[in-house]
Structure 1
Amino acid sequence: MSPPPDGFMAPSKVAVVHSEVKREYFPTVAQYLTEKDSEKEALAVAGYLKKLGIGFKLMAADENIFASLKKYRPEIILNMTGSVAGKEYLATLVPAAAEVLGIPCTGSSFQDETLAYNKSYIKKMMSEAGIPVPKAHLITVNSQQFPQDLSYPSIVKLNSIHGSVEINKEAVCNTAEQVKKRIRYLQIKYHDAVLVEEFIEGEEFSVICFDRPGLEVYAAKNIFGSDNNPRSFASFEYQWDEQEIGFQKYHDPILSDLAVKGYHACGMRDYGKFDVRQNREGTYYFIDGNTNPAFGPKESDCALGTVMDLYGFSFEKVLIMLFTNVNQRLSPASRKE
C-alpha cells in the first residue's frame, strides 16, 4: 500500500458500528440473511483501518450503544449499521447517538437518515428535483384499497426495508390478481407499507456518489451473466444467493447530472447509492436511493467497494477520502458556510 497523502489527518480512534444480528430479530430468513454477516463485514473494514495505522473498536448497535460510544469516545464513528433489533428504521439510532454525544459520524445525519427509510418519500423528493422515477402507489399496512390505474408489468416491494428483501420473480406481476396477492403477503409477513411500482424494462445500473471532498459520480452497468433479458434485475437471489452481479464501468453525463441532483434531494452525505434502470427509449428511471448502502471492500461483495475499485480506488483510498471529507465538513470554515 502507498503511504497516505500529505495532509491526511488520520483519526486516532474510530468506532466501527455494525448491526447486532440474531435470527429471532427478523420475521423471515431472507431478511436475516441480509444482515447475518454484519460483524464479519465490519472486521473486513477494520483490517484496512489497521493497515492505515488507525485505532479502532468494533461495536454492535444494541441497547448499550449510547453507553459504549460515550465510554470509548472515538474521534469518528464509521457507521455500518443496517438494523437495530432487526428493524432497519432503528438504524437511525446510530447517527442520533452521534449527534447527542457530539461525535462526528460517517453518512447522513439522523434527520435525513430517518426520512430515507420511506422509499415513497425518497421517490417524491427525487421527482420534485426533476429526476424520472417510476409511477408508484403506496399501500399502507392495513389498507385494503387497490390502485386502479396500474400498468403491467408492475413490481411490488416493501416500502421501508432494503437489501432486496422479497425482490424476486414473484415481485414482478402481470395481472391485478397477482398484485393483490403479493400486497397481502407482504403486509401480513412484514407489517410494512407496500409500494406497487411500474416495472421499467431495460438495463440496470448501480450508481455511487462519493464526496472526495467534491462530489463525484461512479456508475456501473449491472451484468446478469449472459442474460440480456430486459426484465433481469438485481433480485434477492443475485444479491444474496450464489448468483453474482457483474459490474461494467459506465459513463453518461446525463446520468451523472441526475445522480448529483438525487444526492442532494435525498439528503445524502459522504456517499450514497442509487439503483437506476434505463428503458428502451433511453430514459433513466431512479428506482431507489440509499443514504446508508453497504460499505466495504470489493472482497466483501459490496457494490460500493467494487464499483470504486473499477474506477481505480483501493479501499484504503476510499477510507482516506471518507475521513478527509468528514474532517473538512467539520472544519470551522465549512461551518461558517
Structure 2
Amino acid sequence: MNNFGNKTLAILYSQAKREYFPTEEQYISEAEVFERAKIVAVYFEKVGFEVILLPGDSSLPKKLQKVRPQLVLNLVDSVRGQEHLAAIIPAQLDLFNIPYTGTGMLGLAINSNKFLTKKLLEQTGVPLPRYQLFSSLLDILDVQLKFPLISKLNEIHGSVAIDQDSVSDNELHLRERLKKLFRIYRQPVLVEEFIVGKELTAYLLEGMSKKIYIGEKKFNEAATKYKIATFDAVWRDIDSYDYVRSSGNGILENYVRTAFDILKMDDYGKFDVRQDESGRYYFIDCNANPAFGPIETDCAISHVLKMYDINFDEIIRRLILNASKDEPNLMMT
C-alpha cells in the first residue's frame, strides 16, 4: 500500500448523547462508534495518514475548513439522534469539495427510509417479502399479508427494537406491538412477512470492480422459535450466531449489484437477505455505510470478508483506491 505521509484523514463519528435517543438500545447502537473510530484510526496511521477524529455535529463545517483533510472516512450514522440527518454530512463534504468514503447525500437519505428503499427495490425486480407501512393504529392490515409478520422501525437501523417479540403470529399480537413502537419511537412501522429459512448477509465492496461476499448466519442451538438477528444478538450476546461462507450462485450476487446501484450506494454496502426452503431470496434490509471496523471491533464486514481471506488492511486499500478514482493525488507518495 502507498505511504500517505503528509496527508490528513479525518474520521467523522456520530456525536451520541443519551438525551438524543428515546431508548438505551438506540443510544448503545450509536455511542459505540467513537471507540471504534479510534481503533480504525490506527490502521490508517500505519499507512502514513495523519488522522484526526471529528464529531458530526454543528461544529463540523468550521473544523473541516480549518483542517482541510485530503480524505474523510465518514462513520456518522445520525445527527442529534436522527438517522435521516446523517445525509447532511456528505452534503457538507461535497460543498467543500473534500473527497470521502462511503455513500453520498442522496443514498444516505434513501437509506434512512426503509419503505422508500423497498419501493425502489420493488421497481427493479429485487425480491422482497410482502410488506405494509403502518402510520397509525387505525391502518387496516392488508389481507394479502400472511402471518407470521415481523415489525420494524421505518427510520432506524442497527436492529433497534428487534427481539423475539417482533414476530407476530396473529393480528392481536401485532396491534400490541405496533402500539408499543408508536408510543416509544413516534415513527411509522414497517410490517413484512417473516420468511422462515436461512439468513444471509451480503457485502458489496468497490475497488477496481464491484465484488460481493456472502455469509450465512448460523444461530446457536439456544435460539428460540424464530431465528433472527435481535438487538441483543447483535450488540450484547456475540456468541448467539456466527458466519459461514456462502454463495448466491450468481443469482443473489446480481440482485445485490442491482440494489447497490438503485439505492445510490458508494464504496461498500450491506444487504440482509432471507432464503426460504425453496431457495428463493428475499431482501429484508439494506445498509449504506454499515458499521466499519477491523475484526477486533466485531464488525460484520470484517467477519464476512475474513472468510474470503481479506483483512482490514485490504478493505482500507480498496476504499482508498476507489476514492482515488476522482482524486488521483491521494495515491501519490
**TM-score scaled by structure 2?**
0.93
1:28-85 per-residue CA deviation (whole Å, 9 max, x = no partner) reads 0110111121110000100101111111100111111111111111111100111111
**Percent identity between the two aligned chains:** 34
Whole-Å separation in 2 of the counterparts to 1:57 and 1:310: 31
Structure 2 residue corresponding to 1:296, chosen from 282, 293, 296: 293
Q: Does 1:195 align with 2:219?
A: no
Partner of 2:210: 215
Partner of 1:91: 86
Whole-Å separation in 1 of the counterparts to 2:242 and 2:191: 27
Partner of 1:261: 258
Partner of 1:248: 244
> Does 322-331 or 299-308 show the bigger shift?
322-331
Partner of 1:147: 141
Structure 1 residue corresponding to 2:53, chosen from 54, 58, 67: 58
Aligned residues: 326
| 1:24 to partner: Cα distance | 1.1
Contact between 2:164 and 2:226, CA under 8 Å: does it hold in 1?
no
| 1:331 to partner: Cα distance | 5.7
- Partner SS for 1:102: coil
Q: Does 1:171 align with 2:194?
A: no
Whole-Å separation in 2 of the counterparts to 1:47 and 1:110: 27
Q: Does 1:318 align with 2:309?
A: no
- Partner SS for 1:328: coil
Whole-Å separation in 1 of the counterparts to 2:88 and 2:311: 30
In structure 2, the gaps of 5 or more residues are none
1:201-240 per-residue CA deviation (whole Å, 9 max, x = no partner) reads 1000110000022001000001112368783011111101
Contact between 1:115 and 1:121, CA under 8 Å: does it hold in 2?
yes
Q: Residues 229-248 of structure 1 correspond to what in structure 2 (within 5 A)? A: 231-244=226-239, 245-248=241-244
Structure 1 residue corresponding to 2:283, chosen from 281, 286, 304: 286
Contact between 1:77 and 1:106, CA under 8 Å: does it hold in 2?
yes
Whole-Å separation in 1 of the counterparts to 2:6 and 2:265: 22
In structure 1, the gaps of 5 or more residues are 333-337
The verdict on how the C-alpha distance between 1:176 and 1:65 changes in structure 2, with shifts beyond 3 A counting, is same
Structure 1 residue corresponding to 2:302, chosen from 300, 305, 312: 305
Whole-Å separation in 1 of the counterparts to 2:234 and 2:6: 33
Whole-Å separation in 2 of the counterparts to 1:58 and 1:34: 19
The verdict on how the C-alpha distance between 1:309 and 1:324 changes in structure 2, with shifts beyond 3 A counting, is same
- Partner SS for 1:34: helix
Partner of 1:335: none
